Amino acid sequence: MPFVFSHMEYCDMHFVYGFCDGNARAAVDEYRRRFPDRRIPFRGVFSPIHQTVRDTVCLPSVSVQSEREVVPLINTRENILGMVQRSPRLSTRGIASRRVTYADVANST
Protein backbone atom coordinates (compact mmCIF):
# COMPACT_ATOMS: atom_id res chain seq x y z
CA MET A 1 0.00 0.00 0.00
CA PRO A 2 1.59 3.31 -1.05
CA PHE A 3 0.11 5.37 1.80
CA VAL A 4 2.78 4.83 4.43
CA PHE A 5 3.11 8.12 6.30
CA SER A 6 0.64 10.71 7.52
CA HIS A 7 0.21 14.10 5.92
CA MET A 8 2.01 15.73 8.85
CA GLU A 9 4.93 13.30 8.55
CA TYR A 10 5.28 14.03 4.83
CA CYS A 11 5.24 17.79 5.57
CA ASP A 12 7.95 17.38 8.17
CA MET A 13 10.05 15.18 5.88
CA HIS A 14 9.82 17.73 3.08
CA PHE A 15 10.76 20.53 5.47
CA VAL A 16 13.72 18.61 6.89
CA TYR A 17 14.93 17.68 3.39
CA GLY A 18 14.94 21.37 2.44
CA PHE A 19 16.55 22.31 5.76
CA CYS A 20 19.37 19.91 4.88
CA ASP A 21 19.78 21.44 1.41
CA GLY A 22 18.59 18.30 -0.37
CA ASN A 23 21.03 15.99 1.39
CA ALA A 24 19.02 12.84 2.11
CA ARG A 25 21.56 11.32 4.51
CA ALA A 26 21.62 14.49 6.58
CA ALA A 27 17.80 14.65 6.38
CA VAL A 28 17.48 11.17 7.92
CA ASP A 29 19.74 12.19 10.81
CA GLU A 30 17.94 15.52 11.29
CA TYR A 31 14.51 13.85 11.12
CA ARG A 32 15.61 11.28 13.71
CA ARG A 33 16.87 14.11 15.97
CA ARG A 34 13.69 16.18 15.65
CA PHE A 35 11.17 13.33 15.81
CA PRO A 36 12.62 10.52 17.94
CA ASP A 37 9.23 8.92 18.60
CA ARG A 38 8.27 8.50 14.93
CA ARG A 39 9.11 5.90 12.33
CA ILE A 40 12.29 7.03 10.60
CA PRO A 41 12.08 6.96 6.80
CA PHE A 42 14.90 5.64 4.64
CA ARG A 43 16.95 8.23 2.80
CA GLY A 44 15.35 7.15 -0.48
CA VAL A 45 12.01 8.56 0.72
CA PHE A 46 13.05 12.21 0.90
CA SER A 47 13.88 12.95 -2.72
CA PRO A 48 10.65 11.46 -4.18
CA ILE A 49 8.60 13.52 -1.70
CA HIS A 50 10.31 16.68 -2.89
CA GLN A 51 9.85 15.66 -6.55
CA THR A 52 6.15 14.92 -6.00
CA VAL A 53 5.63 18.34 -4.44
CA ARG A 54 7.45 20.00 -7.37
CA ASP A 55 5.47 18.05 -10.00
CA THR A 56 1.99 18.02 -8.49
CA VAL A 57 2.05 20.76 -5.84
CA CYS A 58 0.70 18.10 -3.44
CA LEU A 59 2.24 15.87 -0.84
CA PRO A 60 2.06 12.13 -1.53
CA SER A 61 -0.49 11.69 1.27
CA VAL A 62 -2.82 14.20 -0.42
CA SER A 63 -2.83 12.41 -3.76
CA VAL A 64 -3.42 9.05 -2.12
CA GLN A 65 -6.23 10.48 0.01
CA SER A 66 -7.93 11.95 -3.05
CA GLU A 67 -7.77 8.55 -4.75
CA ARG A 68 -9.69 7.08 -1.81
CA GLU A 69 -12.50 9.62 -1.99
CA VAL A 70 -15.65 8.56 -3.76
CA VAL A 71 -16.35 11.97 -5.24
CA PRO A 72 -17.04 12.38 -8.95
CA LEU A 73 -15.03 14.80 -11.05
CA ILE A 74 -16.77 17.53 -12.98
CA ASN A 75 -16.91 16.14 -16.47
CA THR A 76 -20.10 17.37 -18.07
CA ARG A 77 -20.21 20.41 -20.26
CA GLU A 78 -23.17 21.90 -18.39
CA ASN A 79 -21.49 21.66 -15.01
CA ILE A 80 -18.29 23.23 -16.33
CA LEU A 81 -20.20 26.07 -17.95
CA GLY A 82 -22.10 26.62 -14.69
CA MET A 83 -18.83 26.84 -12.76
CA VAL A 84 -17.46 29.43 -15.19
CA GLN A 85 -20.67 31.48 -15.04
CA ARG A 86 -20.54 31.55 -11.24
CA SER A 87 -16.82 32.35 -11.16
CA PRO A 88 -15.55 33.87 -14.45
CA ARG A 89 -11.96 34.15 -13.16
CA LEU A 90 -11.72 30.40 -12.54
CA SER A 91 -8.80 28.93 -14.50
CA THR A 92 -8.96 25.79 -16.60
CA ARG A 93 -6.52 24.18 -14.18
CA GLY A 94 -8.86 25.10 -11.32
CA ILE A 95 -11.78 23.53 -13.15
CA ALA A 96 -9.81 20.38 -13.97
CA SER A 97 -8.67 19.87 -10.38
CA ARG A 98 -11.97 20.76 -8.69
CA ARG A 99 -13.91 17.95 -7.09
CA VAL A 100 -17.55 18.36 -6.23
CA THR A 101 -20.13 16.51 -4.23
CA TYR A 102 -23.40 15.25 -5.59
CA ALA A 103 -25.06 18.24 -3.91
CA ASP A 104 -22.86 20.65 -5.89
CA VAL A 105 -23.83 18.96 -9.13
CA ALA A 106 -27.53 19.13 -8.20
CA ASN A 107 -27.24 22.82 -7.30
CA SER A 108 -25.50 23.70 -10.54
CA THR A 109 -28.35 22.51 -12.74
Residue 101 in this model has a pLDDT that exceeds 60: no
Mean pLDDT of the chain: 75
Which parts of 7-88 fold into alpha helices (H)? 7-19, 24-34, 43-56, 60-68, 77-86
Sorted by where each begins, the domain ranges of the chain are: 7-68, 77-108
Burial of 10 by CB count in 10 Å (0-12 exposed, 13-18 middle, 19+ buried)?
Answer: buried
Q: What is the pLDDT of residue 105?
A: 45
User: pLDDT (tens digit, 9 = 90+) per residue, 21-66?
Assistant: 999 999 999 999 999 999 999 889 899 888 888 888 787 765 544 4
Asked if residue 29 lies in contact with residue 42, where contact means CB atoms within 8 angstroms, the answer is no
